[in-house]
Structure 1
Amino acid sequence: MANGKRMLRMTVIAIALVGVLGFQLEAMGMLDSVGDTAGRPDVIMIDTIAQLEELEQSAAVFMHDAHTKALKDQGMSCESCHKTDAKGTMALTFNRVEGENQPELSASELKDIYHNGCISCHVKTADKGFKTGPMVGECRSCHQAAPEVQADRFEAGMDNALHFTHWDSKIIPADAGEQTNCGSCHKKKGEEDGWRFAAANAGKSTQEIFHNQCVTCHQTLIEKKAERSGPVQCAGCHGEKEVAARKMEEGKSLKTMGALPRLPRKQPDAVLMMAKVEEGAAPEKATGMAPVAFNHKFHEGVVDTCTACHVDGVNAPLDTSYEAMHDLTSESSCIGCHAKAQEKPQCAGCHEQRPAAKATSDASCVTCHNAGVNAADTVKLMASASKEEKAAEAALLIAARPATQAMVAVEDIPEFVNIGAISKKFEPSKMPHRKIILSMVKGMEDSPLAATFHAAPEAVCAGCHHNSPASITPPKCASCHADPFVTDGKPGLKAAYHGQCMTCHTEMKLDKPAATNCVACHEKKAN
């Protein structure tokens, strides 16, 4: 009898467990195919109450895209959960609008908004015969101490291609009296990106500003049954696969167009830039160097977004302090961006092995700082010339820059170099010297950066002959690496040869010759 009761009790428990698990699996069934259930772009941890008091339960795990789809299946939309303010902008907050002229809510009131709103919706959904979410008493279904589903969001951004898609759209109407539709997003003419940074948005994060404006517009277009609309689901902007698919389509369009049109902002083609100076100081006192002719049009074409350089917005004064322009650790600085370009395979073979940066010299600085003949001309140019005159001067200097890499005459480059100073087990290596040099030059033939900064024809020689003066007849490696082992920080000759060649091949992503394939470079001696 006791065993019978125990079996009955275990059966009841098992049925209950199956029911609970079945319900939770049904709720998890709303995951659909948004992405990997272990990491999703739409996972939001709801811990709003934690700002007011210590949480009694763990933060609630909320899968936004799953709920968006569930609402759509029932003929419902974003307004089911999100209210709009007086201007018609959708609030990110659930079932409430926060901000000016809105009462502050207590922790208890916030808790009621979430619990009543979510659970009542789940009940109504179940009554309609749809899959639904947790009910009263099933706290752990939402409040998970160790969530199985984690947030995994790809960083979204308005790059140039996506920007073009918007201002080229016929669905977004043109501004009154204008040929562009910029006013649909950028409300104040002349301050087109001010809405991201304006004081009126104080207290709001950039995330809130973008979501409020973008999602509201996309949802409006969907309701109007427009031919095209932007995403309202998280994965549309933050899903890695979705973003990759968008960029692939943009790439196809770009290939058809040939080049992405410039944004219609009346931006200059060329400008003269100079480091900021203290108030009242003469311009040449900034760094002792002349201004820089900056090719603005070219740089627009090689960055994904204007904020690559204008980190505080294109309307904010660009920080032209010496530190901002020469910060090697920042890709927003000139030096930092150029250093990043040196990591490309066709550049890294040489630049990875260059000695640590030494103090800059006037000879290296003048490559960029060459506007104006002398200090007096510089003062006049920067203090009294008009914007148009400065732009014209910059354009002339840019046009005078070399278009191709300076090159030593081919016949002056040794076709082969025999390396046999330490050959014992192997024959001397017959290095195809000229072929290597010409291959390196070909790799940089479309690089204005290389054409400008490799001003001397012998500059390419310094990639290997890294510590000797630029020359077409550099000293042999043994003149510095004669010792067999590391001496004064210099490797021995064998290590110098192998380190130089193998590192270059690795950085340039060359599969052949393999570092372990000795006979690819020098044949083994018969004896």
Structure 2
Amino acid sequence: MSKVKSFQLIFFVMIVLCILFPFIGQTSTNNSDDEKKPGLIKIELEDELGKDEMPAVGFLHDLHTQASDGDCTVCHMEKDNTIVFEFKRTGEKASMDFYHDQCIACHTEKKASAKKTGPVADQCGACHVAGEPEGSLREKISFDKSLHFIHESSERIKGMDLSAKDNCSACHHKYNEKTKEIFYVKGEEESCFYCHKSEKKDETRSIQEAAHDSCVACHQSFKAKSIAIDAGPVTCDGCHDNEKIKKIKKITDIPRLKRNQPDEVAITGWKADDQTKKNYMDAVAFDHKFHETAAQSCKDCHHETLKKCNDCHGAEGGEQKGGFVSLGQAMHKQDSTRSCIGCHKDFTKSADCAGCHSLMPASNSNPESCKTCHSIPPVQLESKDPAQAAKTALTDLSSNYTIVAEDKIPETVVIDGLADEYKPSRFPHRKVVQAIAKRVEKSGMANAFHKDQAGLCMGCHHNSPKTLEPPKCASCHSKVVPGQGDGSDAIFDGGLDGRPGLKGAYHGQCITCHQKMDIKSVVATDCVKCHEAKK
């Protein structure tokens, strides 16, 4: 092959490569570890890109923070002694030319100084990479009770009133619509989320903007004073990287946060002068103080405001401020962790409870449970202070747990109905019952709803009345499933009504319970642990 033809071939290949890969050699945020970091921010000026528009930019915020030695004012301006978290502006609308002028000018300046820098004017593809920036693995940080206490107890954080004993006013405030100023009212502190939503609404900033403005600016002020300890993070990964979140100090012994809340409260849909209150359920005795210890934040229940639930959710619904959700619906909605039933249902997923509750049908409600909460009849509320009535009902509830005498619990149950390849199973019945009871007794909620140990029997002996002498499993689960042949060999081989055979019932109940309760001593594949093999 001649030199001319070789050169033509090489030149042709280079043209093809340039067409297919126009930005070879340029730095991209895609296809790198950087695209998974919390500091990746998508910069896109238009909602929809036209065919002639360049792709969105994946901006590595933490990388630029490091390049500027943590000085936010390199890219962000200050207004009223606070940093404005918009790029090089204080409210003006950004444009393509604006970003190009500011970013490229900075990169060009650093390049002239022989410093490591980003792309310049002739490297469009280094920032505008084809394909959507995938977004970062930015974790939401939970400002829970522990983190709140760290801030509340800090002597470095000062409130608006320097003479006050606490520093609540450093963060909590209200807004005066007329004067356009913030002010503080003691005893009316609420979650930032109540006013600052996920998106900006009217003139109220989003929670993201408000939090970064307040939190990062505060942390920066400590850093400016060379206060290394307690300064708080100023980079994206400091708050939004999962591994760094795990390293945040956790305080376990947290004093109760007082905000004029009651210890006990009677929750009801009817009012004192309501003539039809006899048609409502009995009032609920609610242990507010106990639930404070169980929740990580007031917002877990009070999702829109710290007002009483029935201020927004009426007895019969129909109010716009409550989303047309009645009080009964708000308290009993099963798929919401903000409701009582939903939260309790979520609690039953824990290892101590899941052994029984995971096998129960979702729609299976126990009328006895209603009485556990609805325990204050109208006549009691009319005769005494509601809070006192609630306290009395709660005291009675916690003292009514009945223990079954040990000699009433069979020590060993021999299961031999299916003994064939294996010997009969000697089930340590009393040991298992007492182990379950021990788990229940350490939970205040479980104690309240399981009023006596006899009720625990229904976890295994389901669909039968509560009794210390329940029917045998074979009473409902047959060795041979009707119409299915020998269905007892299948774990969940149902009969005509979907009921498993006897072997399926035993294995489904026992193995599932062991797995859900995280019992390591008996694994599902260890058959001889429960029944020895015949020799």
Using structure 1 for the length normalisation, give the TM-score: 0.83
Give the whole-Å Cα distance in 1 for the aligned partners of 2:10 and 2:473: 88
Following superposition, the deviation at residue 434 of structure 1 comes to 0.5
Could you tell me which residue of structure 2 aligns to residue 186 of structure 1? 172
Could you tell me which residue of structure 1 aligns to residue 76 of structure 2? 82
Query: What is the one-letter code of the residue matched to 2:202?
Result: A
Identify if the C-alpha distance between structure 1 residues 275 and 54 changes in structure 2 by more than 3 Å, giving closer, same or farther.
farther
Give the whole-Å Cα distance in 1 for the aligned partners of 2:50 and 2:217: 31
Any unmatched runs of 5+ in structure 1? Answer: none
Give the whole-Å Cα distance in 2 for the aligned partners of 1:417 and 1:391: 48
Deviations 1:365-420 (A, max 9, x none): 1111112xx43444x36xxx7xxx33333223223332696321111111100011
Could you tell me which residue of structure 2 aligns to residue 365 of structure 1? 370
In the alignment, structure 1 residue 509 sits paired with structure 2 residue 518: yes
Give the whole-Å Cα distance in 1 for the aligned partners of 2:6 and 2:506: 84
Contact 2:188–2:259 (8 Å) recurs in 1: no
Following superposition, the deviation at residue 491 of structure 1 comes to 1.5
Could you tell me which residue of structure 2 aligns to residue 267 of structure 1? 261
SS at match of 1:506: helix
Query: What is the one-letter code of the residue matched to 1:183?
Result: S
Give the whole-Å Cα distance in 2 for the aligned partners of 1:403 and 1:522: 41
Following superposition, the deviation at residue 140 of structure 1 comes to 1.2
Contact 2:26–2:123 (8 Å) recurs in 1: no
For residues 330-349 of structure 1, the aligned pairs below 5 Å read 330-349=336-355
Following superposition, the deviation at residue 206 of structure 1 comes to 1.9
In the alignment, structure 1 residue 211 sits paired with structure 2 residue 212: yes
Give the whole-Å Cα distance in 1 for the aligned partners of 2:365 and 2:194: 38
Contact 2:372–2:397 (8 Å) recurs in 1: no
Identify if the C-alpha distance between structure 1 residues 508 and 61 changes in structure 2 by more than 3 Å, giving closer, same or farther.
same
Following superposition, the deviation at residue 90 of structure 1 comes to 2.5
Contact 1:49–1:55 (8 Å) recurs in 2: no
Give the whole-Å Cα distance in 2 for the aligned partners of 1:421 and 1:11: 78
Contact 1:49–1:110 (8 Å) recurs in 2: no
Could you tell me which residue of structure 1 aligns to residue 406 of structure 2? 410
Following superposition, the deviation at residue 165 of structure 1 comes to 0.8
For residues 31-430 of structure 1, the aligned pairs below 5 Å read 36-50=33-47, 56-72=53-69, 77-85=71-79, 87-98=80-91, 105=93, 110-146=95-131, 150-174=135-159, 175-187=161-173, 188-189=184-185, 190-193=187-190, 196-198=193-195, 202-203=202-203, 204-226=205-227, 227-246=229-248, 249-250=249-250, 253-254=251-252, 259-275=253-269, 281-282=274-275, 284=277, 288-314=280-306, 320=313, 321-358=327-364, 361=367, 363-371=368-376, 374-378=377-381, 380=382, 389-402=385-398, 406-430=402-426
Number of residue-to-residue matches in the alignment: 487
Any unmatched runs of 5+ in structure 2? Answer: 174-183, 314-326, 482-494
SS at match of 1:213: helix
Identify if the C-alpha distance between structure 1 residues 465 and 12 changes in structure 2 by more than 3 Å, giving closer, same or farther.
closer
Following superposition, the deviation at residue 127 of structure 1 comes to 2.8
Give the whole-Å Cα distance in 2 for the aligned partners of 1:394 and 1:194: 27
SS at match of 2:67: helix
More moved, 331-340 vs 45-54? 45-54
More moved, 324-333 vs 47-56? 47-56
Could you tell me which residue of structure 1 aligns to residue 455 of structure 2? 459
SS at match of 1:455: coil
Query: What is the one-letter code of the residue matched to 1:240?
Result: N
Following superposition, the deviation at residue 442 of structure 1 comes to 1.6
SS at match of 2:375: coil
Which structure is higher in RCO with an 8 Å CA cutoff and minimum separation 6? 1
Query: What is the one-letter code of the residue matched to 1:402?
Result: S
Deviations 1:19-42 (A, max 9, x none): x866638x99xx9xxxx4351111
Identify if the C-alpha distance between structure 1 residues 176 and 295 changes in structure 2 by more than 3 Å, giving closer, same or farther.
same
Give the whole-Å Cα distance in 1 for the aligned partners of 2:343 and 2:234: 34
Identify if the C-alpha distance between structure 1 residues 191 and 481 changes in structure 2 by more than 3 Å, giving closer, same or farther.
same
Following superposition, the deviation at residue 455 of structure 1 comes to 0.6
RMSD: 3.3
Contact 1:426–1:525 (8 Å) recurs in 2: yes
Give the whole-Å Cα distance in 2 for the aligned partners of 1:399 and 1:520: 44
Contact 2:437–2:453 (8 Å) recurs in 1: no
Sequence identity (%): 36
Give the whole-Å Cα distance in 1 for the aligned partners of 2:116 and 2:212: 28
Following superposition, the deviation at residue 519 of structure 1 comes to 1.6
Give the whole-Å Cα distance in 2 for the aligned partners of 1:465 and 1:516: 24
Could you tell me which residue of structure 1 aligns to residue 497 of structure 2? 488
Following superposition, the deviation at residue 358 of structure 1 comes to 3.6
Give the whole-Å Cα distance in 1 for the aligned partners of 2:526 and 2:107: 66
Query: What is the one-letter code of the residue matched to 1:231?
Result: P
Identify if the C-alpha distance between structure 1 residues 218 and 313 changes in structure 2 by more than 3 Å, giving closer, same or farther.
farther
Query: What is the one-letter code of the residue matched to 2:125?
Result: R
Contact 1:83–1:95 (8 Å) recurs in 2: yes
Following superposition, the deviation at residue 196 of structure 1 comes to 3.9
In the alignment, structure 1 residue 479 sits paired with structure 2 residue 475: yes
Give the whole-Å Cα distance in 1 for the aligned partners of 2:412 and 2:226: 69
Give the whole-Å Cα distance in 1 for the aligned partners of 2:37 and 2:521: 40
Following superposition, the deviation at residue 304 of structure 1 comes to 1.6
Identify if the C-alpha distance between structure 1 residues 194 and 154 changes in structure 2 by more than 3 Å, giving closer, same or farther.
closer
Give the whole-Å Cα distance in 2 for the aligned partners of 1:224 and 1:276: 56
Query: What is the one-letter code of the residue matched to 2:330?
Result: A
Could you tell me which residue of structure 2 aligns to residue 500 of structure 1? 509
SS at match of 1:91: strand
Following superposition, the deviation at residue 123 of structure 1 comes to 1.4
SS at match of 2:286: strand
Query: What is the one-letter code of the residue matched to 1:128?
Result: S
Deviations 1:53-90 (A, max 9, x none): 88711111101111101110xxx6111211233x3333
SS at match of 2:208: helix
Following superposition, the deviation at residue 213 of structure 1 comes to 1.7
Contact 1:404–1:445 (8 Å) recurs in 2: no
Using structure 2 for the length normalisation, give the TM-score: 0.82
Give the whole-Å Cα distance in 1 for the aligned partners of 2:303 and 2:73: 34
Give the whole-Å Cα distance in 1 for the aligned partners of 2:241 and 2:304: 26
SS at match of 1:207: helix
Query: What is the one-letter code of the residue matched to 2:214?
Result: Q
Give the whole-Å Cα distance in 2 for the aligned partners of 1:489 and 1:292: 38
